[in-house]
Structure 1
Amino acid sequence: MADAAKSKAFDRDMNYIPDRITREPGLSQDKYDDQQLAVPTWPAEPRRYRLVAAAACPWANRAIIVRRLLGLEDVISLGLTGPTHDPRSWTFDLDPGGVDPVLGYERLQEAYFARFPDYPRGITVPAIVDVPTRAVVTNDFPWITHDLFFEWRDHHRPDAPDLWPDDVRDEMEEVMQRVFTEVNNGVYRCGFAGSQEDYDAAYDRLWTAMDWLEERLTDRRFLMGDTLTEADVRLFTTLVRFDAVYHGHFKCNRNKLTEMPALWGYARDLFQTPELGGTIDFDQIKRHYYVVHTGINPTRIVPRGPDESGWLAPHGRGEGRRW
């Protein structure tokens, strides 16, 4: 095993702005939450905040999906950046004049600097911005979707899914942790490995987890049983990018998603749920990875494939509602 000091393994920076938006100041509505008094909190006021995201980014994609699943479209506005960015920031090049119509910014960086003039870290999506001050509130993506469910419950649509069911909560937390470390982040560990040894180790870890998921989903419709949960949202945003990006661009090429019967059927089931599949733009996804990652793809050529029509093929994994 390589000396840790010489390792060139990918290490994701998980230091984000820790602030949270809660129903009551300093109090979380999630009884499992042991961090409820540890960070600054902002009030859950409808139409005060803007979720800034990018359809291309898997971490931001999950926030877009959860907002739609819970029916928060009229409660928290959505600003979308373009699929590519430079070293400084994501930009609002999809909007007329390249300016976000609510915040008046050309770059998401401006919202970060409005609160932290010397912000030292990367400008990431998703980010929630306080519209009155036009300053960033948080970019802590795991907590953003958690709090959209627990802290904004008064504003959910009546038939919103229970994305964090109590009866499977402990197991779900374990499943989500494994999905994050081994799959969501595992594909990046492969793609950005700095040595053959680190890549080989990352590849083995990824496919061990993918085989575990294939087995788990062989006899259940969703990760936690018969209903959709946050765990499925978190896995979906990686699976939907797998063949288009991670298989080739990140060298995760033992086989394609389409060659794993249970995972492929499961992914199609989720894709054909409008609140999930309706957020996917394969062109933006491919443009982001193949254009931005010049260290991996110096030509910036964006592949034309794979064929996307298979996503609409029957999945055979149950009928009717997902929750």
Structure 2
Amino acid sequence: MKVTINDVAKLAGVSMKTVSRVINNEPSVRKKTHDIVMAAVKELNYQPNLAARNLAGTSSYAIGLVYDNPNAYYVIDMQNGVLSRCRKEGYELVIHPCSYADSEMENELKTMIQRSRIAGLVLTPPLSEQQALIDELDSMNMHYVRILSGRGDDSDNSPCIYVNDYAAAYEITQHLLSLGHKNIAFICGDEEHKSTSERLAGYQQALADNGIKNREELVYRGEYSFESGVSGAKELLKDNNALQITAVMGGNDEIAAGALFAARLMDISIPNELAITGFEDSPFSKQTWPKLTTAHQDNDIISQHAARLLFSKTRGARNQDKDIQRIFTPSLVVRDSSQIQG
């Protein structure tokens, strides 16, 4: 027989209403009562009917993950991170892809929120960077958390999780400089993404701090794709007698993988003649030969913290999660694409 909320209440020695309050994470429940009820839930393997909960009252038990990103690995990691938190909270996850360039994007999301009875949203770049969308959500009094590329902003009181792409790009550049590279090229991602400007700024600052002039001809304005890495590397390296490039930084791992492919087509030895680095530590970085030096980015952990922050906001000030990490800095991972192995 299917276990019911009444069975849980009987085993815990409390009312069905108390069980409901515990399952719904209401902040007024005492810890001792919460622990007794959750022990009964675990013993009986009780699974709340989320659809029934949504129909039974005014509260919503679903949150949304909204994204516009061509990188399937990034999207999957973000989904897994948010979903793991939803399971702990007893919520469903609605996954909604959309296009930030669509003029109807705000109306599309508004319709989705109303139809799905969403309690809140996790917004990923570049949607999290669209002020028109933020204004629309504010007008709806909708809870949201933004995942943003940035170094943190004390003046911004909105709920954000920051990824310090600037510091990570600075560290990758310093790694290449420590190997003796001075003419380091950079292949950018889409200019609409703030991560592009942050990663470029980190690269430029590292050069400046080491007394190396920033040269615009060493920067290729591309997109976050393998194809852009191929075309960017071909353009930068076609007359390398003049530029004398000895290292290429890709705005992400797909770009770097494309640059590596182009270099091989041009019969350039990696890393003996040219070092190449990526960013994000996606599966692309491990599927190339040689494997890519990159910056490891914990997208699943980042999205878990974004979901935790969202639930903290939806539960109100009385039940804030104090251990939420707000700023993440991707860490350098050195592999064979940047330095010759002895």
TM above 0.5: no
Higher relative contact order (CA 8 A, sep 6+): 1
Higher share in helix: 2
Higher share in strand: 2
TM-score by length of 2: 0.26
Q: Which has the larger radius of gyration?
A: 2
TM-score by length of 1: 0.27
